[in-house]
């Protein structure tokens, strides 16, 4: 697709979504109907389908200011423990600022997952995890279960004006980072300082409206890039300790396992898009790997699905035992266990 046509599609998206408001809305960025294996000038589903799903989360700095962030030592490493429920009820402004941001995205038809409702839906699973003594992190659990496409990470400070003789005068400063959770890359950052008004809610309503158009355009641009170029993930193939295989060993077909893997990457990524970062006898690690967002039948295609297809192929073609251990939304992990 030509660049001008792509931007026309992006600009037309709000109008077309509004005109088709009576139809069924998609809940995820990857709910699209175009064939990912077609050439990039054909997928025009950016116009026809819903926008990326959004979730608003407080930043770690904000959690810490409300004593909702703890650092714990687990097996010699510092792990952050986030208490989102305590944060929501620590101050009435905490819910208000999230509501103001959410309302703008709802007006534009973005699918949203409310933090409070998301926490409630996870309550039973959290209780089960505690009973089974599983280590967990609230943020990881939320993102893995609810699977938004974009996270808006909010940090704010609403404090008295130290330069004012009137101690009741308060000013608001806020920062919003827009993050693609598949890659954990910041799409855009927006900051405001020394904002005055009668209340924090009124300040946010006034100033966030100005930021919103920039934020939504950044999200649409990122969305268009994903549709055109594929979802960006990482891929790690690791030989299990004690295995009788090295990746430099020859397969029955004459190639080394590493060569077979490289050929598979070329054939099963969007236009061969990947970057090899580590290459040893026991590990191959790839970054900037682009995979299709959907299957040929129109269903979602995830990093886990890509890993499952890889594990099946290497088992069948190379006669080795391989396990798909992919857990995160954007990380593939394949364990090579040995000869079958």
Domain residue ranges of the chain, discontinuous segments joined by +: 25-229, 231-339
Contacts of residue 328, Cβ cutoff 8 Å, sequence gap at least 6: 144, 303
Mean pLDDT per 10-residue interval, the chain, length 340 residues:
41 39 38 39 42 87 92 75 89 88 87 82 54 57 78 88 61 92 88 85 86 88 84 93 92 92 95 94 95 76 90 95 86 92
Q: What pLDDT score does 16 carry?
A: 38
Dump strand ranges (E) for the chain. 54-58, 69-74, 77-82, 112-113, 150-160, 170-180, 185-195, 231-239, 275-279, 283-291, 320-324, 331-339
**pLDDT value at position 123?**
63
In CATH terms, the fold of domain 231-339 is Gyrase A; domain 2 (3.30.1360)
Query: What's the whole-model pTM score?
Result: 0.69
Structure confidence at residue 166 (pLDDT):
56
**Burial of 115: CB neighbours in 10 Å, binned 0-12, 13-18, 19+:** buried
Task: Name beta bridge partners: 172.
Answer: 158, 195
């Amino acid at each position: 697709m030509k660049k001008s046509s792509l931007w026309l599609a992006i600009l037309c998206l709000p109008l077309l979504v509004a005109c088709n408001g009576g139809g069924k809305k998609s809940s995820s960025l990857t709910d699209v109907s175009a064939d990912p294996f077609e050439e990039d000038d054909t997928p025009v589903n950016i116009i026809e389908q819903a926008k990326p799903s959004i979730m608003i989360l407080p930043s770690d700095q904000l959690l810490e200011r409300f004593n909702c962030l703890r650092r714990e030592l687990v097996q010699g490493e510092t792990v952050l423990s986030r208490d989102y429920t305590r944060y929501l009820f620590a101050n009435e402004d905490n819910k208000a600022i999230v509501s103001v941001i959410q309302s703008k995205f709802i007006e534009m038809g973005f699918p949203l997952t409310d933090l409070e409702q998301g926490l409630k839906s996870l309550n039973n699973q959290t209780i089960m995890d505690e009973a089974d003594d599983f280590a967990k992190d609230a943020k990881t659990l939320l993102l893995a279960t609810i699977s938004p496409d974009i996270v808006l990470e909010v940090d704010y400070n609403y404090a008295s004006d130290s330069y004012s003789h009137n101690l009741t005068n308060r000013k608001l400063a806020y920062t919003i980072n827009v993050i693609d959770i598949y890659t954990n890359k910041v799409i855009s950052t927006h900051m405001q300082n020394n904002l005055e008004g009668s209340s924090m809610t009124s300040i946010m309503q006034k100033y966030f409206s100005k930021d919103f158009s920039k934020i939504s355009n950044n999200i649409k641009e990122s969305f268009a890039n994903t549709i055109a170029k594929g979802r960006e993930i990482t891929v790690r193939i690791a030989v299990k300790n004690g295995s009788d295989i090295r990746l430099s060993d020859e397969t029955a077909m004459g190639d080394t396992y590493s060569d077979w893997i490289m050929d598979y990457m070329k054939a099963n990524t969007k236009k061969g898009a990947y970057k090899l970062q580590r290459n040893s006898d026991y590990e191959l690690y790839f970054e900037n790997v682009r995979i299709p967002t959907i299957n040929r039948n129109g269903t979602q295609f995830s990093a886990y699905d890509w890993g499952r297809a890889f594990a099946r192929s290497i088992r069948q073609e190379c006669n080795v035992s391989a396990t798909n251990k992919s857990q995160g939304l954007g990380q593939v992990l394949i364990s090579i266990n040995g000869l079958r």
